[in-house]
Structures are given as C-alpha cells and as structure tokens.
Amino acid sequence: MGMKKENRKKKFLLIILCSSFLILTISSYNISNAAEEKKVCYLKITAHISFVETVNNVSFFVVKGLVQNNGTKNVVSTNVTAIFYKEDGKIAATSSTRTALKIIRAGEESPFQIYLALHSSPAPKSYKLRAIGLETNEEPYDFIKIKNVKSWIDKDGFHRVSGEVYNKGPLIAKSVRVICVYYDAEGKILVISDTVTDPISIIPGGRSHFDISSYPFPIKARRYDLFVSVRRYEKAASANWILFGLLITVTIIFLVYMKRKGW
C-alpha cells in the first residue's frame, strides 16, 4: 500500500514538472524571437520647421519634421538628434527624440518632434539634424486603420481634422496618438499637430475618435497626411496566464481525484 502511494506521488510530481516545463518553454518563445543582428543606418530628414512655444510659462524651442527611410529594408528605433548653435557658432545644446513610428518601412516617412527648454536663454540661432536607425526584418503592426476623416476651417481660422481610428488586430493598442502634417500648395510643411485619441487605448475590434487642430497657427492647408503612433501593444489575454490557469485547474482536479482514491 505504501509503495502505491509513493508511486502516485511520483506521478503527481512528474505531471507538475512537465506542465511547468511546458509553460516556461512557451513563455521563452513568446518573449523573444531568435536574436537578430541589426545594422545601423542613416535616414533622410525630408522636411522640418521650428518655432518658439510657451507652455505653462515655460518657453520651448520646438523642431518638428519628417524622417524618410530611403533604404531598402525596414528600420526600427530611429533616433533624431538636434544640435543647436548660438549666435557665435558655438554649440548651445543637443536634444534627441524617437520618431513617432517605431518601425518605418522602406521608402516611407515618420514624423518627429524635439522640444528644447529655453528657460532664460535666447532661442538658438541655427540647428542641425541627424537621424539614425537600425535595419530590421520586423514588420509594423498593420491592423490600425483611420476612417471617416473630415476636415474644415473653424471660426477662428484653424484647420481641423477629425476621424476615427480602428483596431482590426488581436492586440490592445495602448496610448494611441494621431499626428497631422499640413502642407501648402508647394508641398512645404506648414504645421505638424498631434492629439491623443478618445479613448486613448483601443481594444481589438474597437475604435477611437480624434480631433486635431492646427492651433495656434491659423492656416489653410492644401493637403495633409495622417500618422498613427502607438506606444505599445498588449495581448488581450496573455497565453501564459491561460496556461497557468489550466495548470492550476488540472492540479486541483488531480488532487481531488487522488483524495477520493485514498491518497
């Protein structure tokens, strides 16, 4: 009788160990794909504008523009650096930012914006921009779509653009932001504005509204481009937690069964 109980315990422990190994294996696979060696590449700054903006009594020198991936492969983690110069040509400051799109397809563009706090200093006399990214085989999450877009000039002369962002994919889109690039008749950038969607995160199959204004610049743009930036994506229900729940359920059923058998 004692030998039978010992064998049951061993079987129970074996089941637990095998289930745990299965969960750990799947977790490791989901956390990371095979390591990918990424090549550093320089991207093209296609257009940019600059101005001074005051927010809550703090003045900023703002640079906004577009970066183009002029290579043949997708690029990830693109960093835009601005070097600001004083009147005498000396460096006043440097500042960096990531592009709005995490992955930029070959031939496509992404907006960027850099804010330099001025405090009591004068605005820079000039600046230089540089964009560096990493080549990747990754593809962007291609399930975010913009629909029902409308545009008009409001009573104060600001160009407004509204619409809806749809999430057609299986992941939750967290912290969604829409960027609008306004152009004049010659194709030059007039203004780059952005806003978060309402609600700010979009569940799979859901939609969110946005309303962008060219404020504080009253303009009449000839055309505009819209971009959607998502801070991160999350699984609606983690597969690991589902497996863990199944493991707990199986364990409880097994214990109840063994108890009834006199274990």
Which domains, and CATH codes, for the chain?
40-136 (2.60.40.10), 144-235 (2.60.40.3230)
Residue 29's pLDDT band, with cuts at 50, 70 and 90, is very low
Can you give the pLDDT at residue 33?
A: 46
94-116: pLDDT as tens digits:
999 999 999 999 999 999 999 99
Spell 66-99 as b/e; 16+ CB within 10 A means b: bbbbebeebbbebbbebebeeeeeeebbebeeeb
Can you give the pLDDT at residue 239?
A: 44
Can you give the pLDDT at residue 253?
A: 73
Q: Are 104 and 75 in contact (CB under 8 A)?
A: yes
Distance of CA 65 to the CA centre of its chain: 18
80 φ/ψ sector (left φ>0, alpha ψ -120 to 50, else beta): beta
pLDDT, the chain, mean: 86
CA distance 93 to 89: 12
Averaged pLDDT, 68-86: 97
Whether residue 155 has pLDDT greater than 80: yes
Averaged pLDDT, 226-245: 76
